[in-house]
Amino acid sequence: MLEFRPFTWDDKDKYTQYYQKSPVHYAEYSFFGLWAWLHAYPLEIAYTDNLCWFKSTGNFPGLFGPSGNWNAVTDWEEELSHFKTGDVIYEVPAGVRDILSGHEKFKFTKERDQSEYVYAVRDLISLKGKAFAHKRNRVRAFLDGYEWDYYEMRPEFFDEVLDFQERWRTHREESMNEDESASLNDEEIAIRNAFSKWNEFKFSGGIMKVDDEIIAYTTAEELDASNIDVRFEKAFGEYAGSYQAINYMFMKHHGYKYEWANREEDMGEPGLREAKMSYNPAMMLEKYQLEIL
Beta bridge mates, 235: 216
Which helix (H) or strand (E) segment holds residue 218: the answer is strand 213-222
Beta bridge mates, 149: 209
C-alpha–C-alpha distance, residues 220 and 198, integer Å: 11
Predicted pLDDT at 140 = 97
* pLDDT digit string, tens, across residues 3-22: 999 999 999 999 999 999 99
Predicted pLDDT at 90 = 97
| pLDDT of 88 above 90 | yes
C-alpha–C-alpha distance, residues 44 and 187, integer Å: 20
- How much is the average pLDDT of 85-101? 96
- Residue 166: partners with Cβ closer than 8 Å, 6 or more residues away: none
Given a contact cutoff of 8 angstroms between Cβ atoms, the answer to whether 216 and 243 are in contact is yes
User: Which DSSP letter does residue 115 get?
Assistant: P
| pLDDT of 161 above 80 | yes
- Residue 242: partners with Cβ closer than 8 Å, 6 or more residues away: 142, 208, 215, 216, 235, 236
Residue 146 neighbours by CB distance under 10 Å: 18
Predicted pLDDT at 182 = 82
* Topology at the third CATH level for domain 5-115: Aminopeptidase (3.40.630)
Predicted pLDDT at 177 = 79
Domain ranges for the chain: 5-115, 116-264
C-alpha–C-alpha distance, residues 45 and 24, integer Å: 20
User: Which DSSP letter does residue 130 get?
Assistant: G
Predicted pLDDT at 104 = 85
Give me the amino acid identity at 61: P
pLDDT > 70 fraction of the chain, expressed in percent and rounded = 100
Give me the amino acid identity at 225: A
| pTM score | 0.95
* pLDDT digit string, tens, across residues 251-271: 999 999 999 999 999 999 999
Q: 3-state SS string over 47-113?
A: ECCCEEEEEECCCCCEEEEEEECHHHCCCHHHHHHHCCCCCEEEEEEHHHHHHHCCCCCEEEEECHH
| pLDDT of 181 above 90 | no
Given a contact cutoff of 8 angstroms between Cβ atoms, the answer to whether 216 and 210 are in contact is no
Q: Which CATH entry fits the domain spanning 116-264: 2.30.40.10, 3.40.630.30, 1.10.1060.10, 1.10.10.10?
A: 3.40.630.30
Predicted pLDDT at 103 = 85
| pLDDT of 111 above 80 | yes
Q: Which of 34-38, 104-108, 135-139, 288-292 has the lowest mean pLDDT?
A: 104-108
- Residue 84: partners with Cβ closer than 8 Å, 6 or more residues away: 292
Same-fold call for 5-115 versus 116-264 = yes
Predicted pLDDT at 175 = 74
Given a contact cutoff of 8 angstroms between Cβ atoms, the answer to whether 141 and 241 are in contact is yes
Residues 278, 121, 188, 170: is their CA dihedral positive or negative? negative
Given a contact cutoff of 8 angstroms between Cβ atoms, the answer to whether 227 and 25 are in contact is yes
| Reported confidence tier of residue 58, pLDDT bands at 50, 70, 90 | confident
- How much is the average pLDDT of 48-74? 94
